Amino acid sequence: MTASTAKAQRFREFKMPDVGEGLTEAEILKWYVQPGDTVTDGQVVCEVETAKAAVELPIPYDGVVHELNFGEGVTVDVGTVIISVDTDPGAGPATAPAPAPEPQDAAKDEEEAEPQGRQAVLVGYGAAPSSTKRRARKPQAGVPAQPEPVSAALQAELNGRTAPAPAAAVAPVANGAAAGAVGRPLAKPPVRKLAKDLGIDLATIAPTGPDGIITREDVHAAAAPAAAPAPAEVPGPAPVAEAVVPAGVVDAAARERRVPVKGVRKATAQAMVSSAFTAPHVTEFITVDVTRTMKLVQELKQDPDMAGLRVNPLLLVAKAFLVAIRRHPEVNAAWDEARQEIVYKDYVNLGIAAATPRGLIVPNIKDAGAKTLPQLAGELGDLVATAREGKTSPAAMTGGTVTITNVGVFGVDTGTPILNPGESAILAFGAVKLQPWVHKGKVKARQVTTLALSFDHRLIDGELGSKLLADVAAVLERPKRLITWG
């Protein structure tokens, strides 16, 4: 075993995994360890936020933390090394190994790497290997080949590959300039593309990221229009007077703030736009007397079988929705555009729209239609609590078939909800209010709510959607139908 191989086995690098199938980046929210801390296999070392959820990442090695490559609040591409661990700290001074040089053949124009599988990680899917082939850079005529500067190793890491070790130490640059300044500016490929699209020369940007890395914010700042220079003095009869802002008028820009679109907000925006412009929405409304359902809620709270469980009107609305779907199973379907097929599903994964400090998320209860009322109450309570704590897993937010959104908790009567992508229907449950209502031939004060059902008109015709909504209302008006229909 060579010395370089031994060092590579000693210092293990952990890359940002794909914690949700298809994700490309994640933001480091918090580090739980620092360089010099001892870690064990399976220990959580950081928390990251993806477009779907906040996820804690465990390290798959035993040892001592050697280096944290990024700070908190930094968005990192999947497959980028975020932490390195010294797995044999007793072997001597902790000196990181120099990357092994890559074999090069001057007679070839392309470098070919052997395909590798995904990296083994404890959370997610690891980083998929890159199949990109890069052409060898040709030296310019009359310019002697220079060893790659030290900073190139970091740039190579940003690009998701391993940089060759420098053949020899770079000689000091004249006038005391740093040797690393010879190389091109450090930036991730997406940042380079952004700069190219905006027509910004990276060499003119002062980096603010760790280790001199140019960030997206740096590029946007460079692209922002600079303050207009003072006009040159022009001979004339009189100087042009500057525009005077009237007293009491405040510049609008001074009262605005901009927040980067990322994480849950970015995913929600993309999902809503995709759904609104892909699935033809139809929304129907119905107002219903739910006085009997509200009485049943109070009775269930005293039932020993429901002890310790959260019982509320949303629970019975969810059960009524599931009973109605069982009576009309054709609504529980999905549209497969690629294969031009309708996929009918014999299970119901019931999504519950939850407002959290991180934004709107829609976790779902798997096989909700097969659960008893106490089981449904338990899972509904766990789902809401986990969502509010920001601990919902990506798996809990995939595979939904229909959704309920409870806008009534905000005092709203109803709305026109947008479908969660890939689902066929979403039911909005409005506020329950005491209103005059004709009951048994007399006007009485009754507890009334409004339901709104949006559905994908490619899958659900108007007749079928109307029957589904009418059945939900019928169950809530006379909850004994939970027994006769269920």
In the predicted model, what is the mean pLDDT of residues 166-188? 49
State the DSSP string of 34-95.
-TT-EE-TT-EEEEEE-SS-EEEEE-S--EEEEEE-S-TT-EEETT-EEEEEES-GGGSS--
Closest CA to 293 of 449, 438, 403: 449
Predicted local confidence at residue 157, as pLDDT? 53
In the predicted model, what is the mean pLDDT of residues 392-418? 92
The whole-angstrom distance between residue 5's C-alpha and the CA centroid of its chain comes to 37
How would residue 453 be classed by pLDDT, with cut points 50, 70 and 90?
A: very high
When mean pLDDT is compared over 56-65, 109-118, 159-168, the highest value belongs to: 56-65
> Which residues, at least 6 apart from 120, have a Cβ–Cβ distance to it below 8 Å?
60, 126
In the predicted model, what is the mean pLDDT of residues 164-193? 54
Q: Is 292 helix (H, G, I), strand (E, B) or coil?
A: helix
Predicted local confidence at residue 149, as pLDDT? 47
Backbone phi, psi, residue 101, to 5°: -70, 145
169-178, long-range: CB within 8 Å, 24+ apart, which pairs?
Answer: 170/146
Decide which of 467 and 184 is more confident. 467
Residue 168 clears pLDDT 50, i.e. is over it: no
Q: Are 205 and 222 in contact (CB under 8 A)?
A: yes
Each residue of 368-386: pLDDT tens digit?
999 999 999 999 999 988 9
**One-letter amino acid of 83:** I
192, two tokens: 């380079």
Decide which of 330 and 220 is more confident. 330
- Helical (H) or strand (E) element with 374: helix 373-388
Residue 403 clears pLDDT 50, i.e. is over it: yes
Q: Measure the CA–CA gap between 52 and 270, rounded to whole angstroms.
A: 12
User: How many C-beta neighbours within 10 Å does residue 127 have?
Assistant: 20
Catalytic residue among 66, 281, 439, 457, which? 457
Decide which of 133 and 271 is more confident. 271
Each residue of 252-288: pLDDT tens digit?
778 888 888 777 677 777 777 877 778 889 999 999 9
Predicted local confidence at residue 183, as pLDDT? 60
> Which residues, at least 6 apart from 379, have a Cβ–Cβ distance to it below 8 Å?
365, 368, 371
Q: Are 17 and 127 in contact (CB under 8 A)?
A: yes
Predicted local confidence at residue 250, as pLDDT? 65
Q: Measure the CA–CA gap between 173 and 4, rounded to whole angstroms.
A: 29
Each residue of 412-452: pLDDT tens digit?
999 999 998 899 999 999 999 999 999 999 999 999 999 99
Helices (H), 72-159: 151-158
Q: How far is CA 24 from CA 20, 21, 126, 128, 323, in A?
A: 9, 9, 11, 10, 39
Q: Is 316 helix (H, G, I), strand (E, B) or coil?
A: helix
Predicted local confidence at residue 248, as pLDDT? 62
Residue 1 clears pLDDT 80, i.e. is over it: no
User: Cα dihedral sign for 182, 183, 187, 192?
Assistant: positive
Residue 133 clears pLDDT 90, i.e. is over it: no
How would residue 298 be classed by pLDDT, with cut points 50, 70 and 90?
A: very high
Residue 135 clears pLDDT 70, i.e. is over it: no
Backbone phi, psi, residue 54, to 5°: -90, 130
Q: Are 275 and 418 in contact (CB under 8 A)?
A: yes
Q: Measure the CA–CA gap between 428 and 419, rounded to whole angstroms.
A: 11
User: How many C-beta neighbours within 10 Å does residue 322 have?
Assistant: 24
Q: Respond yes or no: is residue 66 known to be catalytic.
A: no
Q: Are 264 and 387 in contact (CB under 8 A)?
A: no
How would residue 17 be classed by pLDDT, with cut points 50, 70 and 90?
A: confident
Each residue of 85-126: pLDDT tens digit?
998 887 766 555 554 444 444 434 444 444 444 444 444 444
Q: Measure the CA–CA gap between 351 and 347, rounded to whole angstroms.
A: 13
